[in-house]
């Protein structure tokens, strides 16, 4: 079964942020973020080259890091949605689109 990594990355970024926000327990959000990263990373490694996998992992981790300063400029929801969309688009273009063929 092919896991749609675009949905996994976007869902884990949004879901992890919401879980941390609503519970006040930031490590819970980190668990969701890590689980999404591991699941997507395994699929990327299976479908793409090591270089592409490393680039997608860097994009995912970088999106999480970027969301924090971006939230100070445009707000939390817009920030999380923007980095989630960016990560999902990169994942789709580099891994999911090829798997769908």
Over residues 28-44, mean pLDDT: 97
Structure tokens at 14: 């949004």
Q: Look-up: residue for tokens 């997507």?
A: 40
Nearest to 15 by CA among 34, 2, 42, 41: 34
Q: Please state the pTM of the whole predicted model.
A: 0.92
For residue 101, pLDDT beyond 70: no
pLDDT tens digits, 62-80:
999 999 999 999 999 999 9
Burial category of 101 from C-beta neighbours within 10 Å (exposed 0-12, middle 13-18, buried 19 and up): exposed
């Amino acid at each position: 079964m092919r896991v749609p990594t675009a949905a996994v990355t976007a869902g884990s970024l949004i879901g992890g942020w919401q879980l941390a926000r609503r519970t006040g327990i930031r490590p819970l959000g980190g668990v969701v973020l890590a689980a999404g990263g591991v699941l997507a990373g395994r699929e990327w490694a299976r479908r793409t080259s090591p270089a592409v996998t490393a680039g997608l992992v860097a994009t995912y981790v970088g999106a999480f890091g970027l969301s924090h300063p971006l939230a100070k400029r445009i707000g939390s929801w817009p920030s999380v949605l923007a980095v989630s969309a960016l990560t999902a688009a990169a994942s789709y273009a580099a891994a999911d689109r090829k798997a769908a063929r």
